A and B are shown apart, each in its own frame.
Chain A
Amino acid sequence: MSDEKTHPTMYTWKTMPRGGIIPKAGNAAEYRTGAWRTYRPVWDPEKCIHCLTCWILCPDSAIQAEQGKVTGIDLDHCKGCGICAHECPDKVQAITMVLETDAEDEDEE
């Protein structure tokens, strides 16, 4: 995995803020922890009943929803824990976990 994938900007030793401080507040969203993922949640809008269980339980706030309906998954910040797929009601199963490398291959095709 390349470091560029996790950071919008990569500091050189000359541009690194002195002492490794983080000089501004509220920038956690810039750190794209999605690159840590092994399994990717794939959401099927056809099956989804918009119960929002996944939205409530996602520890990274990576389930995107608008006006009470799931609209997608923020893959820049989803770490692939799979809680969403596990908690999706058994009768629905709108989210499946796919090996990230397979999903990436599919993305490229």
Chain B
Amino acid sequence: MATTAVPQTRVSLTGNDAAAEALRQINPDVIATYPITPQTELMHKFAQFHADGLVDTEMVLVESEHSAMSACVGSSAAGARTCTATSSQGLALMLEIVYIASAYRLPIVMPVVNRALSGPINIHCDHSDAMMARDCGWVQIFSENAQEAYDNTLQAIRIAEHPDVLTPAMVNLDGFILSHTAETLDVLDDEVAHQFVGTYEAERSLLDTDNPYSIGALFLTDNYYECRRQQQEAIANCMPVVEAVAREFAAISGRDYGLFDAYRLDDADLALVIAGSTAGTAKVAVDQLRDEGVKAGLLKIRLFRPFPAAQIIAAIDGAKAIGVMDRAISYGLDGGPLFHEIRSAAYRTLDAPFASYIYGLGGRDILVEEIVDVYRGLAEVAAGADASQTRYIGVRE
């Protein structure tokens, strides 16, 4: 922990309000947005800041998320620091333009308040929206609580706008569980936050008629491939930037972030990998099991795109069984998306058995006892029990 952190203010905010607070301090030039549960209150709060004259932002209130992201693309291409936020169906509707924002290398920042995708229609938390967007070329960061939603949003703008990256970033926070639950968190003084986020000077602006450029040209068989290959390199460049920005943030906040968070993992026999608020629940389960003498440990996903595969494998190396809990299904594939990424990364590196768990779809509660049971099952897997089939936690059989 850094010890030189400047004074901060302890406040009680919901996850939505915490992310809105970060956006207020970022003070974007443009926010184009459309309401969708459970994100609505986030932009509602920001609109209040706007109405109160606390930000210089131009708010563009559009007629759909497709238009929101389209307006963001135009605004960012014009050189403006640009943000939006969405959830679930909103992300699905804007997805066409989400891919375009990253291909044009526009550093837009977007909190995504994670909610199940329809159908059947549901408003509660799971990660199917984030996983739907995992190949869209955006940086993706997961948050465990309101503090992280705030901290990650502030860091995301620095990561996205870094000259080596220039790639848009999503900050995931669990719908309702985080977005609508008040927690205490520490917020930076405005002056400190403003200094941290700095100002954004875009290299080019579509409004600069002395230096005209075209964006969005047709790239056929001759050039498209080179563009996409370059994009892969840009997002890979993100890894050291995420770490450098985290170090700088730790110096002003006292809160350390890495590519992921390892909780009692060093000597763990049973390692569990989780993204989002459930990681907090799992920490309680880990503590209970440790009290019993069970060597349980947790790896909490923070950076999901780019995926820090080698670093994650190094952190879980030594575990006798590794479980991955997904709050999303990749339909037709046995095992969740996170499970497959981690097990693939372990190919020819780790000998330990892997087990896949699906949980919490459509906001189904996940309890400490259920995670304790996952660890107990994982102990059996370590002892040789079959783990070839995905387990569905909390579903009525």
Contact = CB atoms under 8 A, between A and B. Distances in A.
B contacts with A: majority SS: loop
Interface in B206-225: 212-215, 217, 219, 221-223, 225
A1 B106 CA distance: 34
Contacts of B106: 19
A31 to B, nearest CB: 10
A16 B221 CA distance: 14
A11 to B, nearest CB: 6
Given A13-B229, A13-B230, A14-B230, A20 B223 contact: yes
Contacts of B230: 13-14, 16, 18
B222 A3 contact: yes
A75 to B, nearest CB: 19
Interface stretch (A22-30, A50-58, A61-69, A86-94): A22-30
Nearest to A20: B227
A96 interface: no
Contacts of B324: none
B227 A25 contact: no
A48 B81 CA distance: 59
A22 B213 contact: yes
A39 B349 CA distance: 58
B204 interface: yes
Contacts of B223: 11, 16, 20
Contacts of B219: 20
B52 interface: no
Given A3-B222, A7-B222, A11-B226, A22 B214 contact: yes
A contacts with B: majority SS: loop
Interface string A1-19: 0010011001111101011
Contacts of B204: 21, 23
B283 interface: no
B104 interface: yes
A23 B226 contact: no
- With most chain A CB atoms within 10 A of its CB, the pick from B204, B214, B215, B219 is B214
A20 B166 CA distance: 13
A20 B213 contact: no
Given A3-B222, A21-B214, A22-B217, A13 B104 contact: no
Given A3-B222, A6-B222, A7-B222, A16 B213 contact: no
A108 to B, nearest CB: 25
B75 to A, nearest CB: 15
A21 B105 CA distance: 10
- With most chain A CB atoms within 10 A of its CB, the pick from B103, B204, B225 is B204
B233 interface: yes
B217 A20 contact: yes
A28 to B, nearest CB: 10
Contact of B227 (A3, A7, A16, A24): A16
Contacts of B105: 18-19
- With most chain A CB atoms within 10 A of its CB, the pick from B103, B204, B217, B230 is B230
Given A10-B222, A16-B230, A24-B213, 8 more contacts: A3-B222, A12-B226, A13-B226, A13-B229, A18-B234, A20-B215, A22-B214, A23-B204
Interface of A: 3, 6-7, 10-14, 16, 18-25
19 contacts: A3-B222, A6-B222, A10-B222, A11-B226, A13-B225, A13-B226, A13-B227, A16-B230, A18-B166, A18-B230, A19-B103, A19-B227, A20-B215, A21-B213, A21-B214, A21-B217, A24-B212, A25-B213, A25-B214
